[in-house]
Structure 1
Amino acid sequence: MPLNKVVDDPAAAVDVIRSGASVAVGGFGLCGTPMALIEALHAGGADDLRIVSNNCGVDDWGLGILLRDRRISRVTASYVGENKEFARQFLAGELEVELCPQGTLAERLRAGGAGIPAFFTPTGAGTLIAEGGLPWRYDAEGRVVVASPPKEVRSFGGREHVLEESVTTDAALVHAARGDRHGNLCFTTAARNFNPVCAMAGRVTVAQVEELVEPGELDPDEIHLPGVFVDRVVPLRGAAEKRIERRTVRRS
């Protein structure tokens, strides 16, 4: 792995992602979304993508642009809201969706990056998550054609726990506020969200950074993700656009 991981062209940075690939994508709602990399992936034409992300953005932003053009065949996520096309495709039988409790999804990604094949959690015990039968895919008539399988359940300390398998993906796309040429990354406040664990889970991880610095300029205590998890660093031309998912106001 080269020490200088900088790739100036987003298209060149994501060229490893081919049709049919699994991709972990950072972000939460529209916060911390690696939009420049998503746009490059969209422009590259890859389809039949299997996405692992907290959510799928909105109809015209984030992963929503890939979903809109039918580039995604499967999503593992914890939240469907705010994207009408996501819900429509799922209910129409056009998209397979594995819904996962948010904390469990984060831990599945982290465990994958840490080399842990599976873990037990009390989340979901006594529900369809453990028993199986959650709809993953419908047909055009609304019948369930793919459902979640039952999972192993064991008791620890008198409490039932569900066995969850870790997640690794062919690639990962993440956003960071600062990064150096070695791939060490710093995230800002809420934009940290799923980005570190998605970066850990990807076999090839591409990070877009708003500010590129030289090795040694980042204080070791402010590095949230070490460069060992990052393969390519794409410096943005200035600050990334930061959209607001839902703006609300009140009368004065």
Structure 2
Amino acid sequence: MNKTYPSAAAALDGVLFDGMTIAAGGFGLCGIPELLIAAIRESGVKNLTIASNNAGTDGFGLGQLLESRQVKKMIASYVGENAEFMRQYLSGELELEFNPQGTLAERMRAGGAGIPGFYTATGVGTVIAEGKEHKDFDGRTYILERGMVTDLSIVKAWKADTSGNLVFRKTARNFNAPAATCGKICIAEVEEIVPMGSIDPDHIHVPGIYVHRLITGQHEKRIEQRTVRKREVA
């Protein structure tokens, strides 16, 4: 099976539809699938539900889809870097489902592993627990969280082989690994595609069985918050 496509638009062809759910990898602007996000914006698909650690920044990453009003609902942990997100949420234009960071990662991982739900103590006694099943284990209360399965996963990796085995680089691994597994279709954008057998099996982070389509391209890799100081003169 040829998993390599010439562009993000080509890889998304026949996959996108209005009202779909998308799991997006990345943490802040680190390791985000920026080419696929831009192509989704260009497609015009709308009423999206997107599960991601955060919603990008104003004008970049998932923030582009917020600006174009293509997102109906965000399932996220942190949204503090996006003024447009705040404006849409406070005005009632955008639905928001907050998940603790570890819970969101585990919901993606569980969905990819075929686990429909799991119990966690995180969120007990807060608004996170409202409407969810409670159960005691060994004298402690836990809440039931559902595993997540989405129509599409979009992720960014450092390297892949032609069968779709993925390798992430350092902190860009973040939410990309669990997000890649929970989509019915997974599209990965990578910096380099190498021949089969080029990657040590012990170095593979996501097996190619989860990955359906691959693209390569040039990535901007913006810095979310640039902090500098004056050079010290000895």
Aligned equivalents of 1:126, 1:41: Cα separation in 2: 38
How many residues align? The count is 230
Q: 2:203 aligns with which of 213, 218, 222?
A: 222
**TM-score, normalising length from structure 1?**
0.89
Contact 2:98 2:128 in 1 (8 A): no
Equivalent position of 2:220 in the other structure: 241
Equivalent AA in structure 1 for residue 38 of structure 2: E
Aligned equivalents of 1:50, 1:12: Cα separation in 2: 22
Range with bigger deviation, 108-117 or 14-23: 14-23
User: SS of the counterpart of 1:191?
Assistant: helix
Aligned equivalents of 2:54, 2:163: Cα separation in 1: 29
**TM-score, normalising length from structure 2?**
0.96
Deviation per residue, 1:105-140 (Å, 9 max, x gap): 00000000000000000101122211x2xxxxxxxx
Equivalent position of 2:94 in the other structure: 95
Matched, 1:195 2:171: no
Please list every run of 5 or more consecutive structure 2 residues that lacks an aligned counterpart in the other structure: none
4+ residue runs over 3 A deviation: none
RMSD: 0.9
Q: 1:10 aligns with which of 4, 8, 11?
A: 8
Aligned equivalents of 2:34, 2:115: Cα separation in 1: 30
Q: Give aligned-pair identity as a percent.
A: 53
Matched, 1:176 2:157: yes
Please list every run of 5 or more consecutive structure 1 residues that lacks an aligned counterpart in the other structure: 133-149
Equivalent AA in structure 1 for residue 7 of structure 2: D
User: SS of the counterpart of 1:40?
Assistant: helix
Equivalent position of 2:143 in the other structure: 162
Equivalent position of 1:186 in the other structure: 167
- Structure 1 segment 115-126 matched on structure 2, within 5 A: 115-126=114-125
Equivalent AA in structure 2 for residue 203 of structure 1: K
Aligned equivalents of 2:125, 2:49: Cα separation in 1: 28
User: SS of the counterpart of 2:108?
Assistant: helix
Offset, 1:158: 1.1
Aligned equivalents of 1:68, 1:41: Cα separation in 2: 13
